[in-house]
Amino acid sequence: MNKRNKKHRNIGIHELYAEDPIAADKLLWGRETDASSRRGFLKKSGLVAMSAALGGFIPFARFMPAGLIPAAFAAEPEPFIIEGKEGLRVLNDRPINAETPAHLLDDDFTPAKYFFVRNNGIPPALASMGDSNNWQLEIAGEACGNPRTFTLAELKSKFKEHTYAVTLECGGNGRGEFNPPAKGNQWSTGAVGCAKWTGVRLRDVLDACGVKDNAVYIGYYGADQHLSGDPTKDTISRGVPIAKAMEDESLIAWGFNGEDIPYQNGYPLRLITGGWPASTSGKWLRKIVIRDRIHDGQKMTGQSYRIPCEPVAPGTEVADEAMCIIESMPVKSLITFPKSGITHALKEVFEFRGKAWAGDLEVAKMEVSINFGASWQPAKLRAPVNRLAWQSWSAQLKFPQPGYYEVWARATDSNGKAQPTILPGWNPKGYLNNACHRIAVQVA
């Protein structure tokens, strides 16, 4: 059941009752509360409405406690469904942002239904797209020698196709753990995924349009609409240095695990620049500009996707000029099996497994701990299928006695830098939390 609050945001019955159960009663059913008995008295219209919603008369409605969600609604699904997605935790509905629980990231390549959603605006309507082969991409900019426009069909026919497994992670993944809290979506660990992306190399298309000697950066523009509805405002327009754009794995992509890119993840065309914040991989791609300066599009300036150039104390106000653009993401890992909270038999050896990645680098070592980081044991680590893909790992653990345990996972990158066991340095926007992932295990 959905209701709209004053901000016109669709929320579910659980969220509505969590905010204020008595107010929810009054809003939904017109139920008045007796302060002395905490009973809720339904007006005739409210009784009719609740009976209709439940599918039958409520004989003992007079005894129903105030602020109680009817049991028939207790197992209600998420406030709304994201088409093509399953099991994701929705953080925001305007724009849509949803993360994937760690136990759903166990596949070598993340299925479309489990790939996280990070939107900044409103995606272009599918009905307005027409034949995807006619989708147009413009290449321009001050450092572009020969500006051109390609249809998707022309990209497919004029340039060599490539497929790479590339990990994309939101720069704010893990933001929910920072204290003092940082503004923005309160991601836990699930704003990450690795898929096989198919398209053409960005550098091949840029070279065909002429990259001048003064080229410094590229920037992108997408077809998503600003939340205000103002067509003159860009939702997001970020980019990367020209050297990053020219890497083999930087793609203009239309394929995802052998199929079309999912609608919420940028169908029919998006940019892929792995290892850096996923915000550099623009969705619903319409235009790429080759710049003679650092790109200054929406969310490239101020404090967006930037951290203090020097460490600061938690809660410090940092001036814009003291903030530096985030480039390669830090080393990180997840336990993807088993799900946190599992009960395990004491004498049995248990295999744990997960995923690890390290921005532009490779993961060199993987370790696990069952004693809150007092000691660590090595895990088996597989090599990536290609650069910028995440790596699978596994470990066999045996617990010494019954009780409550936490399994911690720690990855170390090819430069020798390991994940911290506690939160890394605080920053005003809550970026780059790569603290060790941990799960609870009850040993019987």
Render pLDDT for 121-158 as a digit per residue (tens, 0 to 9). 999 998 888 899 999 999 999 999 999 999 999 999 99
Sorted by sequence, the CB contacts under 8 Å of residue 302 that are 6+ apart come out as: 320, 323
Residue 107 lies in a domain: yes
Task: Please report, for residues 168, 296, 326, the alpha-carbon distance to residue 216 in angstroms, rounded to integers and kept in the order given.
Answer: 23, 12, 16
Confidence check: pLDDT of 37 > 50 = no
Tokens standing for 370?
A: 């069952």
pLDDT band (50, 70, 90) for residue 80: low
Judge contact between 408 and 437, C-beta under 8 A.
Answer: yes
Verify that 217 and 95 share a domain, yes or no: yes
Is the domain of 342 the same as that of 401? yes
Residue 103: φ, ψ to 5°: -70, -10
**DSSP-derived 3-state class of residue 49:** helix
Determine how β-strand 192-201 pairs with β-strand 251-256.
antiparallel
Is residue 24 very low, low, confident or very high in pLDDT (cuts 50, 70, 90)? Answer: confident
DSSP-H helix ranges across 42-104: 44-54
Burial of 218 (0-12, 13-18, 19+ CB in 10 A): buried
Phi-psi region of 157 (alpha: psi -120 to 50; beta: other; left: phi over 0): alpha
What does the pLDDT average to over 257-266? 98
Cβ(1)–Cβ(12) below 8 Å:
yes
The parent domain of residue 352 ranges over 332-443
Structure confidence at residue 8 (pLDDT): 43
Tens digit of pLDDT for each residue in 342-396? 888 878 888 999 999 999 999 999 999 989 899 999 999 999 999 999 999 999 9
User: Tell me, what CATH number does 383's domain have?
Assistant: 2.60.40.650
What strands, in cross-sheet order, belong to the sheet with 285-291?
Answer: 148-151, 136-140, 285-291, 217-222, 239-241
Q: Is there a contact between 428 and 303 (Cβ–Cβ < 8 Å)? A: yes
Per the structure, the count of domains in the chain is: 3
Name which of 19-23, 172-176, 261-265, 331-335 the model is least confident about.
19-23
Of 73, 103, 129, the residue that ends a domain is 73
Going by the DSSP 8-state scheme, the letter that residue 114 receives in this structure is G
Q: Is residue 7 part of a domain?
A: yes
The pLDDT mean for the chain works out to 89
Residues 440, 408: Cα–Cα separation, whole Å? 9
Let me know if residue 78 belongs to a domain. no
Torsion of CA 214, 220, 221, 227, to 10 degrees: -120
CATH of the domain at 121: 3.90.420.10
Say if 344 falls within a structural domain: yes
Q: Which pLDDT score, from 0 to 100, does residue 422 have?
A: 84
Compute the CA torsion angle 434, 113, 389, 237 (nearest 10 deg). -70
Residues 67 and 107 in one domain: no
Tell me: do 12 and 129 sit in the same domain: no
Same domain, 106 and 235: yes
CA distances to 51, 62, 69 from 56, in Å: 5, 15, 16
Condensed to tens digits (0 to 9), the pLDDT of residues 272-321 reads: 999 999 999 999 999 999 999 999 999 999 999 999 999 999 999 999 99
Residue 181 sits in the same domain as residue 117: yes
- Is 80 domain-assigned? no
Residue 82 is assigned to a structural domain of this protein: no
| Residue 231 scores a pLDDT above 50 | yes
pLDDT band at 401 (very low <50, low <70, confident <90, very high): confident
Q: Which of 304, 325, 346 is the last residue of a domain?
A: 325
Phi, psi of 164 (to 5 degrees): -135, 145
Whether residue 308 sits in one domain with residue 174: yes
pLDDT of residue 320: 96
Give 382-408 as a DSSP string. Answer: PPPSSTT--EEEEEEE--SSSEEEEEE
Q: DSSP letter string over 282-329?
A: -SSEEEEEEESSS---TTTSTTTTEEESS---TT----GGGEEE--SP
- Asked if 436 and 306 sit in the same domain, the reply is no
Rounded Cα distance, 316 and 427, in Å: 8
Domain co-membership, 166 together with 281 = yes
On whether both 317 and 362 belong to a single domain, the answer is no
Do 34 and 135 lie in one domain? The reply is no
Question: Same structural domain for residues 189 and 282?
Answer: yes
